[in-house]
Structure 1
Amino acid sequence: FEAFCSGGLVPGWSLIVQGQSNSKDDEFEINFLSESGEIAFHFKPRFSNGTLVCNSFQGSRWGEEEVYSVFPLELKEPFEIEIFSDSEYFHVFIQESKVAQYEHRHKPLASITKVQVLNDLRFPLVELSKKRLYL
């Protein structure tokens, strides 16, 4: 899945992904990309070790990973992930509970123009929308 953010990722953009993992080897990642192709935000659940990883790929190299051990995803159970952006952070919610907060490393936000969901899974819903700020 790929979508373009009209006008760039300004505060208020939200991505919702619904899916289900059937194996600890199932992998997927969510990337927010800049016009130049850098990854402003990379989110990857690792079912194999029960962690959530956030990072950025800028200047031809990965930054320091932020790893979260809160892992509310369960094998063979449906899930919903929402990534919401305000002016300072990406906020990650799983099953409506906040599990991660990742400070924007790439600025200006308006240059973040594309969202990718890369996967081995089927996702019945991937939705990119603009919401009013509620955080």
Structure 2
Amino acid sequence: MAYCAPPGYQPQCNPTVPYLGPLCLSPGMSVYIHGVIPHHCNRFAVDLQCGEFEGTDIALHFNPRFEDWNMVVLNTFRNGAWEEEEQTELPFRKGESFELIIIASAEGYQINVNGSHFYLFRHRMPLERVSMIRIHGDVTLEALNIIGGGMVVCPSPTLSVGLSQGGGMVYQSGNLPIMCEAPIYNPPIPYCGMIPGGMTAKRTIIVRGMVPYGADLFHLNFMVGSTRDVAFHLNPRILQGTVVRNSYMGGCWGNEETDLDYNPFQEGQYFEISVRCGNWCYKVFVNGQRFCEFTHRLQPFTLVDTLQIEEDVQISYIHY
């Protein structure tokens, strides 16, 4: 299923704050925000508004407050007055990066922070009334996109992904693998692309996307383009609740590997897969957490020059 941003909308990298831009949501679409909380932050807000002028109705007011409160206030502003507040714990920390995703559904706004479910704010006014997004207060924005199931990120070369104690993604400076090629945004599925320069030791390939509702399975194949041999087949099977790893060489599948400590691939969930090629194996991280290793079966592994992605998945970002 294809989703589109509002007419004329383009993903924003490093937008200035306060920010005001067009927003047209339907169920299944999302607002993706990547930003940084400055050390001096008192509060900031993300407002899904019904118009561009001051005093307009606000369908969702998402308002993290640090000063004394240390909580997030959620509310609606209608007919010139605030309605009853909803309050919950504060998931942000001063001085740290964050990912905020607001997913529109028929029920309400599903809010995810740093890769984890945070809050469901139920609709108080029709979704189709929302026409603008406003972001203001003490926050720095690095990327903003309106999407329908994937995410588009404008990566900074100073950022790397780690895992917070709560299981979400956080960003720390200094260790992002150097990748010289421009990222690929929102590729159609099935996707088949050349790995520039082929696979080499210490090379990392990053794929971001989402598992759509109703998905059965999808796979990533790291292949030899000339022979179609698959050196590494990564195959999340959503309905079976497992992730199969294998190889396909000389017309035959090898032995499946299925052991897992955890399975991050679930319906409706965003993911980031990072595959790093070592001298002895592929090391796979998902959402910043170590996921598995797959020992090289095809040698030399430098023959691998193609990435293939197929089946039930929405991909928003590939970086070689």
| TM-score clears 0.5 | yes
Do structure 1's residue 37 and structure 2's residue 263 form an aligned pair?
Answer: no
* 1:95 positional shift: 0.7
Alpha-carbon displacement from aligned partner over 1:54-85 (angstroms, at most 9, x marks no partner): 00001210000000332022321211111111
Kept in 2: contact 1:29–1:119 (CA 8 A) = yes
User: Which residue of structure 1 aligns with residue 206 of structure 2?
Assistant: 16
Kept in 1: contact 2:194–2:306 (CA 8 A) = yes
Counting aligned pairs with the same residue, the percent is 27
User: Which residue of structure 1 aligns with residue 281 of structure 2?
Assistant: 89
Bigger drift between 18-27 and 31-40 goes to 18-27
User: Which residue of structure 1 aligns with residue 252 of structure 2?
Assistant: 61
* 1:27 positional shift: 2.2
Do structure 1's residue 2 and structure 2's residue 192 form an aligned pair?
Answer: yes
User: Which residue of structure 2 aligns with residue 122 of structure 1?
Assistant: 314
Counterpart Cα distance in 1 of 2:290 and 2:307: 20
SS in 2 for 1:31: strand
Greater fraction of residues in strand: 1
* 1:23 positional shift: 2.6
Which one has more relative contact order, counting CA pairs under 8 Å at least 6 apart? 1
* 1:15 positional shift: 1.7
TM-score by length of 2: 0.38
SS in 1 for 2:302: helix
- Listed as ranges, the gaps of 5+ residues in structure 2 are 1-190
SS in 2 for 1:124: strand
Structure 1 residue ranges, 4+ long, deviating more than 6 angstroms after superposition: none
Alpha-carbon displacement from aligned partner over 1:21-66 (angstroms, at most 9, x marks no partner): 1335342110011132111110011111211110000121000000
User: Which residue of structure 1 aligns with residue 302 of structure 2?
Assistant: 110
User: Which residue of structure 1 aligns with residue 124 of structure 2?
Assistant: none
Bigger Rg, structure 1 or 2: 2
Kept in 2: contact 1:31–1:42 (CA 8 A) = yes
* 1:91 positional shift: 0.8
Kept in 2: contact 1:26–1:121 (CA 8 A) = no
Counterpart code for 1:10: T
User: Which residue of structure 2 aligns with residue 133 of structure 1?
Assistant: none
Counterpart code for 1:100: C
Kept in 1: contact 2:215–2:312 (CA 8 A) = no
Aligned residue pairs: how many? 128
